[in-house]
Every structure is written in structure tokens, then in C-alpha cells.
């Protein structure tokens, strides 16, 4: 069993750590917030004193942070991972960030003979809890093979998609599909509700057909129950679509649907909804129609 350092114990990081502990790994954990560190120490992890200390005590250092600037500061910054990491250790960044930042961090790691993989995930909190995430990695095949047994404790599908940065390109592709799916579901359910139909009946009628999807099955029940507890926060999805648009610009690819949904997400953040689950994209479309998608009779807002 490896000695693993884990930095970033939020909605995703905490259950991922619990699965590593369950599999018998020795874990050193660190977060800027004391609460989640204390919970994991209670569950059997050791407390890292800092990012540098966590890295110095580990063979594999996992980071699960909000965005690229957080990863840059945690790995490259003062008191960061690279100040403590041993030669030959492996940094596995599982955050969803810009592929360009992954490449920058990997290059800085290489200068210190530290290996790097980008390995973002899909599946959200429920799959993080079950250890059944989809993990999409980028990096050298031999480095990937070394950490595969660790990744397999957190995910049921673990794929090497190409060199460093490829994991995050794959994740951006994933995030475009999820965001556009939720927005389309929102338009469909608002239309059905305005027509006087019960959205739950509509959901049950279509879920076995071509419009059925993992997104629909996970998010329609949340919308109908008006449960927007995250899950995956609006502000994180806005960040992913912003990174997708930046990648599109640098690769000269137009992403008109991504751009539209990114604008909806920004507007929702300005309404104070940034920490709601991304299923609340539906509320943007509800706002335009002046109606709420709810079980039972259509309710005028």
C-alpha cells in the first residue's frame, strides 16, 4: 500500500479519501479548512501540517481543488507541494482545470524530477462516495500504470486519454455535454409544465427513450423536488465552461451552445445562486417563462 497525500477535502475530496482509507492506504490529508481535516483524522488519516509537509510524507500526492489558480498556488506556490515532494514521487491532480495549466504545472514538476498526471473525474458526489467515478487521465503511460491501483479505489472507469492535459480536455468535453443537457432538460420541463402537464409524468414517459440519459435521471428528480443542494456547484460549472471557451479560442473552435449556457450560469451567479447545484440552470429558463417546474399542478411563479 502506498503512502498517499491528499490536498482538497471538499464535496469530492472527502469521500475519495474515505475510499482510499477503506482500501487500506495510509493517508496524510490537508485542507485550508480545519473541519474536513478533523473528520478524516477521526476516520484514520494523518494530519498534514501544510501542503509542503503533506507532500514530503507521501509517494503519491493527490490534489482535488476548485480551479487552476488553486492548483498552481498549492503545487507551485510558497510552502506548496513542490517544496516538499521527493524525487520520483507522483502528483496526481484530479481537479477540473484548464489543460494549459496542467501542462504548466507538469513542466515545473519535471524540473524537480517529480512526475505529474492530470486525472479529473466525472460522476459527482454520489459516485465519489461509491468509488465509481469515471476518471480521465493525461500523462506518461508508465506513470499512469504506477498509480492505476490507487485510482481504481476511487473510480470504476479509469482511462488514459493521452499526454498531460488530455485528461482535462476530455473533462471539458464532458462538461459541455452535461451543461447543455441540463439546459435542454430545463427548456423541455418548463414547456411541459406550462402546457399543464405533471413534469414527473413527462420525465417517466421519456426516460426510457432516446432522450433518456444519466444527466436526466440524476437531475430531473432534483428539479421536480426543488432540491438544489450541491452536488456540483453552479460556480464550478461556470468555471469549466469558461475553461472550455478559452480552450476553444486557442484551438480556433466555435462553441456556440457552450457559450450560451456559460452566460446563463454567470447570470445565475449574479443572482446569488453560485453555490446551488447545477440542476438550478433550470431556474434561468423558469425565470423567462415565469413558471416553476414542480410535481403536480403547474404553479405560476
Q: Could you tell me how many residues make up the chain?
A: 301
Binding test (CB under 6 A) with ligand NAD, winner from 5, 131, 186, 231 = 231
Binding test (CB under 6 A) with ligand NAD, winner from 5, 13, 131, 139 = 13
Phi first, then psi: give them for residue 47, nearest 5 degrees.
-85, 125
Examine the residue annotation and report whether 273 is marked as an active-site residue of this protein: no
Per-residue mark of binding to ligand NAD, 165-204 (x: CB under 6 A): ----------------------------------------
Binding test (CB under 6 A) with ligand NAD, winner from 81, 85, 236, 285 = 236
Which member of 171, 239, 273, 294 is catalytic? Answer: 171
Q: Does position 95 bind ligand NAD by CB under 6 A?
A: yes
What is the smallest separation between the CB atom of 257 and ligand NAD, expressed in angstroms?
20
Pairing of strands 115-118, 90-93: parallel
Residues paired with 159 in a beta bridge = 136
What is the smallest separation between the CB atom of 107 and ligand NAD, expressed in angstroms?
20
Strands (E), the chain: 3-7, 26-30, 46-47, 60-63, 90-93, 115-118, 121-122, 133-138, 155-162, 291-292, 299-300
Binding test (CB under 6 A) with ligand NAD, winner from 24, 33, 195, 300 = 33
Nearest residue to 85 (alpha-carbon basis) of 118, 62, 119, 69: 62
- Closest-approach residue to ligand NAD (CB): 10
Q: Does position 99 bind ligand NAD by CB under 6 A?
A: no
Q: What angle do CA 168, 233, 185 make, to 5 degrees?
A: 90
Nearer to ligand NAD, 15 or 186 (CB): 15
Cα gap 209→153, rounded to integer Å = 33
What is the smallest separation between the CB atom of 244 and ligand NAD, expressed in angstroms?
12
Q: Does position 96 bind ligand NAD by CB under 6 A?
A: yes
Cell output for 276: 446551488
Binding test (CB under 6 A) with ligand NAD, winner from 29, 65, 92, 216 = 65
Binding test (CB under 6 A) with ligand NAD, winner from 4, 5, 31, 84 = 31
Cα gap 12→230, rounded to integer Å = 11
191: enclosing H helix or E strand: helix 166-194
Residues paired with 24 in a beta bridge = none
Q: Does position 73 bind ligand NAD by CB under 6 A?
A: yes
In terms of Cβ atoms closer than 10 Å to its own Cβ (0-12, 13-18, 19+), residue 233 is buried
Q: Does position 98 bind ligand NAD by CB under 6 A?
A: no
Nearer to ligand NAD, 32 or 288 (CB): 32
Q: Are 90 and 142 in contact (CB under 8 A)?
A: no
Nearer to ligand NAD, 96 or 258 (CB): 96
Q: Are 264 and 284 in contact (CB under 8 A)?
A: yes
Active site residues: 171
Q: Which residues bind ligand NAD (CB under 6 A)?
A: 7-13, 30-33, 36, 51, 64-66, 70, 73-74, 95-96, 121-122, 124-125, 231-232, 236
Amino acid at each position: 500500500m502506498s503512502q498517499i497525500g491528499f490536498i482538497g477535502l471538499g464535496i469530492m475530496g472527502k469521500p475519495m479519501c474515505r475510499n482510499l482509507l477503506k482500501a487500506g492506504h495510509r493517508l496524510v490529508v490537508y485542507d485550508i479548512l480545519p473541519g474536513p481535516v478533523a473528520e478524516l483524522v477521526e476516520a484514520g488519516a494523518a494530519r498534514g501540517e501544510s501542503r509542503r509537509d503533506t507532500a514530503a510524507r507521501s509517494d503519491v500526492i493527490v490534489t482535488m481543488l476548485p480551479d487552476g489558480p488553486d492548483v498552481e498556488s498549492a503545487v507551485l506556490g510558497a510552502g506548496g507541494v513542490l517544496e516538499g515532494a521527493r524525487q520520483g514521487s507522483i502528483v496526481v491532480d484530479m481537479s477540473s482545470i484548464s489543460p494549459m495549466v496542467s501542462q504548466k504545472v507538469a513542466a515545473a514538476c519535471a524540473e524537480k524530477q517529480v512526475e505529474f498526471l492530470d486525472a479529473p473525474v466525472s460522476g459527482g458526489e454520489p459516485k465519489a462516495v461509491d468509488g465509481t467515478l469515471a476518471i480521465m487521465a493525461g500523462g506518461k503511460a508508465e506513470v499512469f500504470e504506477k498509480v492505476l491501483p490507487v485510482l481504481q479505489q476511487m473510480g470504476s472507469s479509469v482511462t488514459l486519454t493521452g499526454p498531460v492535459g488530455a485528461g482535462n480536455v476530455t473533462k471539458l468535453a464532458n462538461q459541455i455535454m452535461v451543461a447543455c443537457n441540463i439546459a435542454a432538460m430545463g427548456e423541455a420541463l418548463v414547456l411541459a409544465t406550462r402546457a399543464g402537464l405533471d413534469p414527473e409524468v413527462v420525465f417517466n414517459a421519456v426516460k426510457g427513450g432516446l432522450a433518456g440519459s444519466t444527466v436526466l435521471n440524476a437531475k430531473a428528480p432534483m428539479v421536480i423536488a426543488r432540491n438544489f443542494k450541491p452536488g456540483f456547484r453552479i460556480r464550478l460549472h461556470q468555471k469549466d465552461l469558461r475553461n472550455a471557451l478559452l480552450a476553444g479560442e486557442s484551438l480556433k473552435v466555435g462553441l456556440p451552445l457552450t457559450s450560451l449556457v456559460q452566460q446563463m450560469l454567470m447570470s445565475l451567479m449574479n443572482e446569488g445562486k453560485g453555490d446551488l447545484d447545477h440542476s438550478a440552470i433550470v431556474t434561468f429558463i423558469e425565470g423567462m417563462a415565469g413558471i416553476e417546474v414542480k410535481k403536480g399542478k403547474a404553479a405560476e411563479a
